[in-house]
Amino acid sequence: MDAALGAPEKMAENEDELTPMMSQYFELCREYDDSLVLFQVGDFYETFCEAAEKTARLLEIALTQREDSTGTYPMAGIPIDNAESYIETLLDAGYRVAVADQVQDPEETTTVVDRAVTRIVTPGTLTEDELLDTDDNNFVACLTEDYERYGLALLDVSTGDFYATSARRTGAIADEVSRFAPAEAIVEPGAADETATECFDADCLVSPYDAAAFESEAARERVESYFGSPDALLAADAEIRACGALLAYAEYTRGGAEGDETESGGERGSLDYLNHLTRYEPREYMLLDRVAVSSLELFERRTVHGDADVTLLGVLDETSCALGSRTLKDWLRRPLLESDRIEARLDAVEEWTHDVRTREEARDLLREVYDIERLIARISRGRANARDLRSLKATLDVVPELKTAIADFESERLVELRDQLDELADVRDLIARAIREDPAREITEGDVIERGYDDELDELRETEREGKAWIDDLEATERERTGIDSLKVGHNSVHGYYIEVTNPNLDSVPDDYERRQTLKNSERFYTPELKEREDEILRAENRADDLEHELFRDVRSTVAAESERVQAVADALAQLDVLAALGEVAATRDYARPDIGGDGIHVEGGRHPVVERTQDSFVPNDAHLDSDDTFAVVTGPNMSGKSTYMRQVALITVLAQTGSFVPAASARIAPVDRIFTRVGASDDIAGGRSTFMVEMTELAAILESATDESLVLLDEVGRGTSTTDGLAIARAVTEHVHDEVGALTLFATHHHELTETADDLPRAFNLHFAAEGTDDEVVFDHEVRRGAATASYGVQVAREAGVPDEVVGRARELLAEAESADVEVDADIDDGASDPPEPAPKAIADGAADELAERLREVDVATMTPLEAMNELAELKRDVE
C-alpha cells in the first residue's frame, strides 16, 4: 500500500495558498492516507497531483491539468457513471479506494461544496454487484494473537456471513483461512510478518488496522452491540478481539458520512444485517487444506489445459440460483464429520431423487430466486433502489409456490427447511402496495411509488395531471379566443410553457399576452394564468419527487428492519437448492447413497466424478481400506490410472461427507477427519522452493498431523531427488505411516522395490494397474488388481507420447542390455544430488553396464511428462554414442 498517495509534501506545505476545494481534497487524502481518494467534481471522480499521475498510468486515462488561481497541477478523472470498472482495476493493482462524494447540493452553497468519504472500497469488503462474483463469497479476514491462541474472524460484507474460530498453531489457522480464501486480511499493528505470511496466501492483501479496534474492551463492546454477549458466542479473547476489530474495519469501509444514499454512515446502522456470527471449531469439519483442495481439483483445475468447469464443483453444480451455488461451495469446503448430520443431508437428497416432477417444479421455481442475501444487505445499507425491492418481492412470490411444491416431503431436514420458509407476507404486501412494478432506476426522480399508496402523493400527482391537461387544452381554447388558427402551445426546458404566434398574426394577440421570447418568424408569449398553472405543476412535481424519495426510504427501512427474517428465508432457499441439485446429480448420473459409518472406506464400482464426465468409457474400480488394511502401495505404468484411482477414492469420501450420493455402485464410508494429499510435482516457483522442497514440506505436514482417521494420498514421494534417496524416503515414510500413524493411505509409486515392503508389513498391501504390452503398443485396461505390477512399460509410453522412433529404439536396446546384465540397484553410487544424472561413458565398456543400468532406472520415462522423457532420452542417446 502506498501511504503517500494523496497529499504530496509540496502541496501540503503551501496549504494556505490552496483553493478551498483543493484544501478539502488534501484534507481527505491525509485523513484516508491508506487509500486512493476519488474526489467527486460534478460528474467525475478526480484525482490530483501525484495521485493523478498514478491513476492515469494505472487506468490508462488521460492526464490533464487543472488550473486555478493558485497554479496548475496534474489531474485525472473517471466518469462517475462507470466508476466501478475503474475501481476494479485500482483494487487489482493493490489499492484501497476512498470514494469522496459531494454531500451537499452545489446550489445550496456559495463557497465549496461539502464532500465526504461515503465508502472505502477494498478487495475484501466489496458490496457492489459489478465487482462481485455471484457464485463466490468474498471474505475479509482478521487475525489476532494472544499468548496461547490465534483468533480468526471472517466476514463477507456483501452477504453478512460471519465466522470465527481459533487455534493454537498458525498451521491450523492457515488451513482454516484456505477454506475461505479471503481477498483481504487485517492484522494488529506490529504483528509479526511471518505469522501473516504463514497464514495468508500471497494474493491476499494483508495490512495492519487501527490498534484501538483490537483492544479487548472496545472489541467486546462492538461485538456485543451486534450479537449480544460475546462470552456466550465466542470461546477465546483472541476470537472476540478478531471479531470486534473486523466489525470496526467493516464500519470504517462503509464511510463516515451522512450521504444521501448511506442512511447511517459510519455507524453500525448500515451493517444492521449482520445478524449471525457462527463460531466453530476447526474440528467440526473434515479438514481440507489448500494443498488438498488444489490437488483434488475441487474448485479449480491445476493444469492449464482443459475446460475450466471440469472440477468437482463444476460437475456437481446443478444449483438453480446464486444462493445455492455459493452454499454448495461452502459445503464442499467443509465436509461434515458427524454421521447424524451427514445422514440428515443424505435423507434429504434421497427424497429429492425419488420424484422427478417435484424436483423439476421446485428447481424451476428456484431459478426465479434472486440473490436476496446480497439484496437485503444492500437494502440495509441504504444502497438498494426500487428495482431491488421489486426483485426481493419477486423472490418472496416464489416462496408459497415452493412450499406447496414440496409439501409432501417428509425427511427431517426438508421439513425443517420448509418450515423455515417464512412467506414474509407483510414485506411482500408492503412492496407490492408501495413500489411500482417497473420502477425508475433513480430513486430521486419519481416514478417509484405506486398509486394509491399515499394520499398526499396521489393529490400532488393529480394536481400535476390536471395542470397538464389544462395546458393540453389551452391550444384549442386560445385559438378560439384569438381566432389565430396557427397558434401553438409548446414547452422548452429553458423557458417553460409558451404560446407561439407567427409574425403575420401578431395583431390579433390579446392584451393579457406577455412576451417571453422573440424568434425569427414568430413571438412566444405567456399569460398570467398559464404562468400560474405552470408554477403549480412544477411545485407539485418537485414536492411529489421529494415525497416519493422520502416514502421510498421509509419502505426500504421498514424492509431492512426485517433483514433477519429475509436472511432466514435466503438460508432455507439456499439449502433447498443445494439439496435439490445433489438430488438431480444423484438421480441422473447413477450415483448411490453411501452408508456412513463402519470401519474404513469401502467402495464397489467407484468412479471418478470428473474424469467419468470427460471420458467415453470409464472403468469402475473397487477400493477397500480399513483398520486391517490401512496402507495400499499402488504401482503400474504411467497413464494406467493410478492418480485417477487415488483421487476418486478421496473425492467419493468428500462427496459422502458433504451429504451427497457418490459415483459408485455402493459405498460404506466411516468419516475421515482430514484428507492429506502429496500429489504430483507442483513447483512453488513464486515461493522460490524447489519441487523436492515442496514435496518434503507437504510430507512433513502429513506426518505431523495425520491421525488414524485420516485419508492420505501419496503420489511419487521422493521423486524430486535421486533414486536411492527417493526410495529410502519412500520406505521410511511407508513404515512410519503404517506403524505410527495408521492413517488410511494410498501410495502410488514407481519404486517397485516398495512392493516388497508392502508384503512385509501386516496392514499394507499391493494394488496395481496392469497393461497389455507388446513391443509396439501398450494398452491399459484401467482396472485395479491386488498384488504388485510386473513391468513399467515406460518406453512404450514414451513412444506413444511421440518420442522419436530412433530414441525409443535405442532406449529399448539399452533396456535389453541392462536387463541381461541383471544388475542390482547399487545404493552407494549415488550422492543424493545427481538429478540430472552425471555424464555417462561414451560406450558401454565392460563394467560400465551397472552404471548404465542405474542411469536407465533413474531415467524412468514412465514417471515423466512426454517432453521430459524426450529430453532425457535424447541426452542419454547423445551420451552413449
Binding site for ligand ADP (CB under 6 A): 611, 615, 618-619, 621, 636, 638-644, 782
Please report how close the Cβ of residue 787 comes to ligand ADP at its closest, in angstroms. 16
CB closer to ligand ADP, 642 vs 751: 642
Please report how close the Cβ of residue 608 comes to ligand ADP at its closest, in angstroms. 7
CB closer to ligand ADP, 103 vs 795: 795
Count of CB atoms situated within 10 Å of the CB of 482: 16
Please report how close the Cβ of residue 51 comes to ligand ADP at its closest, in angstroms. 51
CA 174 to chain centre: 18
Nearest in space to 782 (alpha carbons), one of 632, 655, 661, 616: 616
Dump the DSSP string for 89-132: HHHHTT--EEEEEE-S-GGG-SSPPPEEEEEEE-TTS---GGGS
Please report how close the Cβ of residue 611 comes to ligand ADP at its closest, in angstroms. 6
Please report how close the Cβ of residue 618 comes to ligand ADP at its closest, in angstroms. 4
CB closer to ligand ADP, 4 vs 779: 779
Q: Is 638 annotated as a binding residue?
A: yes
Q: Name the strand (E) or helix (H) holding 712.
A: strand 711-715
Please report how close the Cβ of residue 862 comes to ligand ADP at its closest, in angstroms. 8
Q: At 877, which amino acid appears?
A: K
Q: CB within 8 A of 89, min separation 6: which ones?
A: 58, 59
CB closer to ligand ADP, 319 vs 792: 792
Nearest in space to 702 (alpha carbons), one of 396, 291, 361, 226: 291
> Could you write out the three-class secondary structure of 35-59?
CEEEEEECCEEEEEHHHHHHHHHHH
Nearest in space to 495 (alpha carbons), one of 525, 522, 465: 525
Please report how close the Cβ of residue 353 comes to ligand ADP at its closest, in angstroms. 25
Is the bond preceding residue 504 a cis peptide, omega within 30 degrees? no
CB closer to ligand ADP, 259 vs 794: 794
Q: Is 488 annotated as a binding residue?
A: no
**Is beta strand 150-156 parallel, antiparallel or unpaired with respect to 140-145?**
antiparallel
Q: Is 643 annotated as a binding residue?
A: yes
CB closer to ligand ADP, 555 vs 789: 789
Q: Is 182 annotated as a binding residue?
A: no
CB closer to ligand ADP, 266 vs 620: 620
CB closer to ligand ADP, 382 vs 641: 641
Please report how close the Cβ of residue 616 comes to ligand ADP at its closest, in angstroms. 8
In whole angstroms, give the CA distance from residue 170 to residue 188. Answer: 15
CB closer to ligand ADP, 144 vs 621: 621
In whole angstroms, give the CA distance from residue 447 to residue 500. Answer: 31
Please report how close the Cβ of residue 287 comes to ligand ADP at its closest, in angstroms. 25
In whole angstroms, give the CA distance from residue 233 to residue 218. Answer: 17
Q: Is 877 annotated as a binding residue?
A: no
Rg (CA), the chain: 36
Q: Do 438 and 389 meet the contact criterion of CB atoms below 8 Å apart?
A: no
**Is beta strand 674-678 parallel, antiparallel or unpaired with respect to 287-288?**
parallel
Q: CB within 8 A of 159, min separation 6: which ones?
A: 137, 326, 373, 374, 377
CB closer to ligand ADP, 274 vs 788: 788
- Please tell me the number of Cα atoms within 13 Å of 784 on its side-chain side: 28
Q: Name the strand (E) or helix (H) holding 243.
A: helix 237-253
Q: Do 778 and 793 meet the contact criterion of CB atoms below 8 Å apart?
A: yes
SS3 state at 260: coil
Q: Do 28 and 37 meet the contact criterion of CB atoms below 8 Å apart?
A: yes
CB closer to ligand ADP, 454 vs 715: 715
Phi, psi at 524, each rounded to 5°: -115, 140
Q: Which residue has the cell 450479537?
A: 227
CB closer to ligand ADP, 405 vs 603: 603
> Residue 577 corresponds to which cell in the numbers above?
437448492
CB closer to ligand ADP, 39 vs 780: 780
Q: Is 641 annotated as a binding residue?
A: yes
Please report how close the Cβ of residue 607 comes to ligand ADP at its closest, in angstroms. 7
Nearest in space to 196 (alpha carbons), one of 231, 150, 256: 150
Please report how close the Cβ of residue 715 comes to ligand ADP at its closest, in angstroms. 7
Please report how close the Cβ of residue 639 comes to ligand ADP at its closest, in angstroms. 4
CB closer to ligand ADP, 726 vs 794: 794
Q: At 815, which amino acid appears?
A: L
In whole angstroms, give the CA distance from residue 578 to residue 585. Answer: 11
Q: CB within 8 A of 203, min separation 6: which ones?
A: none
Q: Name the strand (E) or helix (H) holding 808.
A: helix 805-821
> Residue 404 corresponds to which cell in the numbers above?
406447496
Give burial (CB, 10 Å; 0-12/13-18/19+) of 839: exposed
In whole angstroms, give the CA distance from residue 654 to residue 333. Answer: 9
Count of CB atoms situated within 10 Å of the CB of 511: 5
Q: Do 52 and 22 meet the contact criterion of CB atoms below 8 Å apart?
A: no
Please report how close the Cβ of residue 284 comes to ligand ADP at its closest, in angstroms. 33
Please report how close the Cβ of residue 626 comes to ligand ADP at its closest, in angstroms. 22
Q: Is 20 annotated as a binding residue?
A: no
Q: Sign of the C-alpha dihedral, residues 664, 669, 674, 677? A: negative
Q: At 252, which amino acid appears?
A: Y
Nearest in space to 122 (alpha carbons), one of 161, 153, 154, 157: 157
> Residue 147 corresponds to which cell in the numbers above?
499468548
Please report how close the Cβ of residue 615 comes to ligand ADP at its closest, in angstroms. 5
CB closer to ligand ADP, 44 vs 618: 618
**Is beta strand 161-167 parallel, antiparallel or unpaired with respect to 287-288?**
unpaired
Specify binding-site residues. 636-643
Specify binding-site residues for ATP. 636-643
